[in-house]
Structure 1
Amino acid sequence: MCQSTVYLRRDGREEELLRDAILVEPCEGGTRIQGLFEGPQVVPARIAVIDLLKHRVVLEPEPAR
């Protein structure tokens, strides 16, 4: 299968948000992620890195405005 794990990078550390993600897309309010067995959720963050070889997606919090 081709699912990825989604992480949130904050203060130099990465926190796992979702394992087996099947959808990652920018949307109003951040990034929408959805797991194989979970419904979609919106994370107030932007996509920083997508590493398809390692099945990893790294998000970073949106900068304060």
Structure 2
Amino acid sequence: MCQARVIVRRGEEEEEVMRDVVGLEVQPDGVVLRAFFEEPRRIRGRLKEIDFMKHVVVVEEES
């Protein structure tokens, strides 16, 4: 299986906010992340980039 890590970027800082993400839904005010055996998590910001080779998703926090 190919789960992803989600990173939130705040200016120059980056923070991993969730591992083993199997679903991501883009919404007007952010993204909803889903993983096995966890409640969905909402992140405010916009989808910035996805690296399929590294299984990493970057969400840029909006101020």
| Alignment TM-score, normalising by the size of structure 1 | 0.86
Task: Please tell me the root mean square deviation across aligned C-alpha atoms, in Å.
Answer: 1.2
Distance in 1, Cα, partners of 2:16 & 2:28: 22
Unaligned runs of 5+ in 2: none
Distance in 2, Cα, partners of 1:58 & 1:19: 12
Identity among equivalent positions (%) equals 40
Deviation at 1:11, TM superposition (A): 2.2
Instruction: Give the count of matched residue pairs.
Output: 63
In structure 1, the partner of 2:16 is 16
Task: Show structure 1 runs of 4+ deviating over 4 A.
Answer: none
In structure 1, the partner of 2:55 is 55
